[in-house]
A and B are shown apart, each in its own frame.
Chain A
Amino acid sequence: MIDRRIALAGLLGAIALPARAQPLAYRIIPEKVADGLWVVRGVDAPIAMANGGAIANITILATEGGTVLVDCGPSLRYGVALKQAAQALTGQPVVRVYLTHLHPDHIYGAAAFAPGIVAATPQLANLLKSEGAGFSDGMYRLLGDWMRGTEFTPPGAILTADHETFGARRFRLLPLAGHSPADLAILDEASGTLIAGDLVFHDRAPSTPHADLEKWHDSLKTLEALGHKRVVPGHGPVDPTPATAIVQTRDWLDWLAATLRASVIAGDDNVAAGNVMIPARFATLQAARYELQRSVAHLYPGLEAELLPRIDAGR
């Protein structure tokens, strides 16, 4: 005869089991791009429970001086998994984590590393003092338990030189702006790979929550002239050519700027501006409609203030 309490416990166990059987775990799969350079690809989609926020590309670099990472993912859980995977891959401890810009899908994994090895430009470090922790509520709301234990950790190393060298590997540091007020692009001189952060998107529509489209356009001109061989974009597949992704990103941004201005002048409301036809040449860009509608939210009010004439008696 089965005791009722045991039966009840068994039932509870059965209910709890499915949740326990699949703990949240990121799959860190480094893909080799060049000698001693791997990319962990983010999902080309918006931040969502289904992807744990792992939407940004992360770069792992092997040097004789230790392992170097560019960006570190959306959460403590991701950072821990990334550190383990990177060290298993290279056999060397992580000695440097570069932060490319302030967005949480790139930097909240920093909580898994010693603050002293997490590095940012002075402009970014300054920006993070006021903005760094502010994304936390939104990330927890969207990602729930994926975010458990994640607290924003400010960078402990400030990048003031125009390069850093680990072992024989020299990284050229390019402080720029446009996607955000403080973007960092990194040129791995050994392999000729430009690790562009979110200044470059590839087959994934650019996002603009802190963008200055003119500065961004200018920064892309700078990147185009570096003489690199290939580009690791912040989001989307690695570009094996020097310019394809850079040109595509600039094309989208220029189209976006012209289209939003035309919508304002035509008297379109925000919903209509977010539903304009997206040209066929952008058909390969993931999340295009989503990002266009976000961009309307980011940029439309400012454009209306600039472009619509005053009609009140006090004008």
Chain B
Amino acid sequence: MVVSSLPWIGGLLLALAPLPAHATLPADPLGSPMWQRLGDTLFGNDPVRFDDRVHVIFPEIAENQTSFPVTVDARGIEGVKRILLFADLNPIPLAIDYTLAGARAFLATRIKLDQRTPVRGAVQLADGSWLVGGGWIDAAGGGCSTPPTSRVRGDWADHLGEVRGVAVRGADGTHIRVAFRHPMDTGFVANIPTYNLDTLTLSGAGKAYGTMRIEASVAEDPTISIIAETAAGETVAVRASDTNGIRYDGSLAVREATPALAAVR
């Protein structure tokens, strides 16, 4: 069984709190009250700087605080080996820790928002340094402590294990999107412990694209998109597991983008 990384993060926060401030952590342009503490926790003593090429893209309104779309697009930066997606003022700040193999520096998902918060992407280069981007989003409270809709309906277990997906090969690489049915329990709803999808690996013909550690701050029924270089007709293997050790595996065939599809938009 895979152990949730949530207690590990909490432990790290506690352990690092009394230490002197991160030697090289720059002042936060977003003025977040959590920047110093999160910076110490997530980046350790690695060099950190803010960089406009780390595009953190999200809608102008958080229409649903339990499911807020965020894209981290750092394809303009060479040699990205890891992407972190986090929201400073969430009780579980980290959403996804993505270690890239052959994939491009791109990650899209939906996260929970517990309140108005900075939402950030950080990308790590081969030399260990981190480049950070992001912005504030206003949100109604409680996105992390609202019961998942499938818990309210009572049908979460009926759909556990369902994985949907699509992989479309276009001019800028193959967009691979997978959607899981999972309650993604945060542990903040009465008497329901933390229960979330926590690992995902995507790979192609004989090569990995990347591996993710996923936290319960990712929205219920997680959707995750990456962009990778694939051959035509390749099959993408999806391997995931949750904090109860349940496996969610699947495969999807890459298809070509059609001109008809492009014409609609």
Contact = CB atoms under 8 A, between A and B. Distances in A.
A313 interface: yes
A48 B251 CA distance: 46
B212 interface: no
A67 to B, nearest CB: 36
Interface string B18-62: 000000000000000000000000000000000000000111110
A87 interface: no
Contacts of A296: 59, 69
Contacts of B71: 269, 271-272
A8 interface: no
Nearest to A277: B265
Contact of A311 (B58, B69, B165, B225): B165
Nearest to B57: A271
Contact of A266 (B141, B168, B249): B168
B168 A308 contact: no
Contacts of A301: 67, 221
A275 B57 contact: yes
Specify which of A141, A274, A290 lies most central, judged by the most chain B CB atoms within 10 Å of its CB.
A274
Interface in A275-315: 275-277, 289-290, 293-294, 296-298, 301, 304-305, 308-315
A267 B177 contact: yes
Contacts of B178: 311
B250 A313 contact: yes
Given A267-B177, A269-B71, A258 B108 contact: no
Contact of A298 (B63, B140, B163): B63
Interface in A80-110: none
Contacts of A309: 164-166, 252
Contacts of A298: 63
Main secondary structure of the interface of B (DSSP, over half): strand
A310 B164 contact: yes
Interface size bucket, A side?
35 or more
Nearest to B174: A267
Nearest to A297: B63
Given A297-B64, A310-B162, A310-B163, A271 B265 contact: no
A162 interface: no
A272 B108 contact: yes
A297 B67 contact: yes
Interface in B242-265: 248-252, 257, 261, 264-265
A314 B238 CA distance: 13
B223 interface: yes
Interface string B135-177: 0000011000000000000000000011111111000000111
B249 to A, nearest CB: 6
B67 A294 contact: no
A191 interface: no
A153 interface: no
B179 interface: yes
B220 to A, nearest CB: 10
B208 interface: no
Specify which of A267, A270, A290, A304 lies most central, judged by the most chain B CB atoms within 10 Å of its CB.
A267
B265 A262 contact: yes
Contact of B225 (A209, A267, A305): A267
A284 to B, nearest CB: 20
24 contacts: A137-B140, A141-B140, A258-B264, A259-B264, A262-B264, A266-B166, A267-B166, A267-B168, A267-B176, A269-B108, A271-B57, A271-B59, A271-B69, A272-B71, A272-B108, A277-B265, A290-B61, A298-B63, A308-B166, A310-B164, A311-B163, A311-B251, A312-B250, A314-B162
Given A294-B63, A313-B249, 16 more contacts: A138-B140, A141-B140, A259-B264, A267-B225, A269-B177, A269-B223, A270-B110, A271-B58, A272-B108, A290-B61, A297-B64, A308-B165, A309-B165, A311-B164, A312-B249, A315-B250
